[in-house]
Amino acid sequence: MSTYRYDPLEDRWTIIARHRLKKPTLKAEDIRMVPAECPFCEGNEALSDAEIDASCVHAERSINTSGWINRVVANRYRAVAIETSADVVEEGIHRSMGGFGAHEILIDTTGHDSDLALMSPDETVSYLRMVAKRIENLSQDSRIAHVSVFKNVGILAGETMSHPHTQIVALPFIPSHIASMYEREAVYHRAHHAHLVLDEVAQTIDDETRLIAREGDFCLYTPFASRYPFELRIAPTTVLTSLVYASSEQLESLAVLVHRSVHLMKLVLGEKVAYNMVIRDSIRDDNPYHTVYISMLPRLFGVSALESEDGVSINPMPPEEASKLYKERL
């Protein structure tokens, strides 16, 4: 299957997964797969891998049948697998580990040509509730340290299947950049007795120039140091370490801003805008200083080595100007 390899110089893990060479690569001519052949479409349940969970229209629905709102299946080209050993092997300075983990696909909706801007409020709430449910379920395994939740929409964002879907990857370690974020949040809390994300949100509300919308306990805004042109962030105004702990009212408010963020990106950047959505969640109760947030990252250009290798982004669009353009379309 796959293995993890640790780079002691870069302080990061890499997944070596040779079998993913067979993963399909989306080309412009494939972007609109025929629904009859789409393994994520309702009625084609037999074409997808094993069903793990589903939100159903009727409680009596049988597994792998129609009648679902959203559906979770195993990733056919999964990078890691739950049945794999997580044993660590040390060879001199090199360290490797069996490719243990989980790699799931959440099929967002039955609508083949839908997206987060077109889904109904109830569909979007159900989608977020399923994300929270999968995070909670995967975190029950003590070997899992981190759950990554992200969407790739459009070829520039790495999309390989056009039907709306989200990837959920559970790992036995916390990636170094996430661990660094947790440490920064802890250091900030010790120094200021406050949560870093909440203080960012409070300052954004006070300043107003980058604030786009508020809904319940959540805000939509352009980050002060946006890495990408027209980047958006959704964050709460109150402590919420994970979507697992979100109330029904909070999920409803968050659903409104998720819908609005994608709608605004399409209005400002075009109907076919490519983007990544990343949910920064924490599955461990020992990260009490973290607050969940969502990043919406439009992909308008390629990235340079400075950005991809050194982590220093180059953004030609000031977030204040981006916010102004977004608010003009509200």
Residue type, 273: V
Which of 153, 175, 197 is the C-terminal boundary of a domain? Answer: 175
pTM flag (> 0.75): yes
Q: Under 8 Å CB-to-CB from 193, ≥6 apart: which residues?
A: none
Tens of pLDDT along the chain (330 residues) come to 688 888 775 677 877 777 776 666 555 445 556 788 899 999 999 999 989 999 998 888 999 999 999 999 999 888 898 888 888 899 999 999 889 999 999 999 999 999 999 999 999 999 999 999 999 999 999 999 999 999 999 988 888 888 999 999 999 999 988 999 999 999 999 999 999 999 999 999 999 999 999 999 999 999 999 988 999 999 999 999 999 999 999 999 999 999 999 999 999 999 999 999 999 998 877 788 999 999 999 998 876 665 666 667 778 899 999 999 999 999
* 162 plus 187 within the same structural domain: no
| CATH code of the domain in which 254 resides | 3.30.428.10
Same domain? For 75 and 13 the reply is yes
- Does residue 113 sit in the same domain as residue 255? no
Domain around 268: 177-328
The helix-helix angle for 319-328 and 248-269 (nearest 10°) equals 100
Q: Say how many C-beta atoms besides its own lie within 10 A of residue 123's C-beta.
A: 21
Q: Tokens representing 55?
A: 């939100």
* In contact, 96 and 6? CB cutoff 8 Å: yes
Strands (E), 23-126: 51-56, 68-74, 88-91, 94-98, 102-107
Of 175, 203, 223, which marks where a domain is finished? 175
Domain count, the chain: 2
Instruction: For residue 85, give the 3-state DSSP assignment.
Output: coil
Give yes or no: residues 293 and 207 share one domain: yes
Please check whether residues 133 and 33 belong to one and the same domain. Answer: yes
Rounded to whole angstroms, the Cα distance separating 43 from 67 reads 9
